[in-house]
Structure 1
Amino acid sequence: MAEYTREIRELIGNRPFILVGSTIVVINDKKEILFQHRSDTEEWGLPGGAMEIGETLEQTAERELYEETGLKAKTLKFVDVMSGKELYFKYPNGDEVYNVISIYLAEGINGKLAMNDGESLALKYFSLNNLPSQMDERAKLIIEKYFL
């Protein structure tokens, strides 16, 4: 959890707040999408996370992609921004958020898959016709809206 988010949580406890961040879709040469098995929810989700103070959304995407996967993208193609009640999320620890997610498609990927930040149990590519069964609802919304 970013320092800023931690400080806000100390002030408001578990109450809902608006969390702005970026999600990155990585598609390999086999047209498979990279998923992260998250340690906090034990669900499969897309790489991404919360914006830190002073970052742009694209900088957030670059940082999160590297921290969570060890990968870098030559370019990040902006897809859309998603928000609204369907992006409400309650973490297992009780923290509640309404996400505002900037979605990027990573192009020109380089690097080696690595779990650098302790937030992942596994990283794995899945085909669109064999997506993980325990998928994060936010990831489902993004995949269904933009990639199916």
Structure 2
Amino acid sequence: MGTFMANYIQEIRALVGHKPIILNAAGGILLNDHQQVLLNLRTDTHNWSLPGGYLEYGETYAQAMVREYKEDSGIAVKIVRSLGVFDKGETRYPNGDVTQVICQLYQVAAVGGHTLDQATDETLDLKYFDFDQLPPLLNDQTAEMLAAAKQQLL
């Protein structure tokens, strides 16, 4: 991707500032052998979310899911199936950005890589959690996605 394509959201934010915008994202549910879900501790908000993220211009949800999951976790994944689209609520970031996120949630399976062994610019930590013992989450949408995944997968 060209520079503009790779920095699409930064380009939009440069134009609109912190004004609320709608963004598209993809998130993934990866379960371990104990039926626990992998979450990442975010550097920006210091709470937990599903590995995944915003689509860059020209990407599909599936392409963004695979790319973002690897960036956030170090794990290469393949999509097993769709778990639904989530579009309710908003997220307020510490820098003042406000978004309504439309997120395509997938069940994923690991096909390579390994969990990050050090912090990155987006992920401080990665851990598996029981669905009934979740840490502080990014937002209500993350909680809704985890509840839906629990209902569909367990």
Shared fold by TM > 0.5?
yes
What's the CA shift for 1:40?
0.3
Provide the rounded CA distance (Å) in 2 between the counterparts of 1:40 and 1:141.
21
What's the CA shift for 1:19?
0.4
> What is residue 127 of structure 1 aligned with on the other side?
130
Code of the residue aligned with 1:130 in structure 2: it is Q
Higher deviation after alignment, 71-80 or 28-37: 71-80
> What is residue 107 of structure 1 aligned with on the other side?
109
What's the CA shift for 1:117?
4.6
Code of the residue aligned with 1:8 in structure 2: it is I
1:118 aligned to which of 111, 115, 121: 121
Asked if structure 2 preserves the Cα contact closer than 8 Å seen for 1:32 and 1:125, the reply is yes
Code of the residue aligned with 1:89 in structure 2: it is T
For structure 2, list consecutive stretches of 5 or more residues without a partner in the other structure. 1-5
Higher deviation after alignment, 98-107 or 115-124: 115-124
Asked if structure 2 preserves the Cα contact closer than 8 Å seen for 1:58 and 1:76, the reply is no
> What is residue 58 of structure 1 aligned with on the other side?
62
Aligned residues between the structures: 144
2:51 aligned to which of 27, 42, 47: 47
Code of the residue aligned with 1:125 in structure 2: it is Y
1:28-47 CA distances to partner (integer Å, 9 max, x unpaired)?
Answer: 11111001000000011111
What's the CA shift for 1:108?
4.3
What's the CA shift for 1:16?
0.5
Moved >6 Å (runs of 4+):
none
Asked if structure 2 preserves the Cα contact closer than 8 Å seen for 1:18 and 1:98, the reply is yes
Q: Does 1:18 align with 2:28?
A: no
Give the direction of change, closer, same or farther, for the CA distance of 1:117–1:4 in structure 2 (3 Å limit): farther
> Which structure 2 residues correspond to residues 55-94 of structure 1 after superposition, within 5 A?
55-84=59-88, 86=89, 88-94=90-96
For structure 1, list consecutive stretches of 5 or more residues without a partner in the other structure. none
Aligned partner of residue 115 in structure 2, secondary structure: coil
Code of the residue aligned with 1:112 in structure 2: it is H
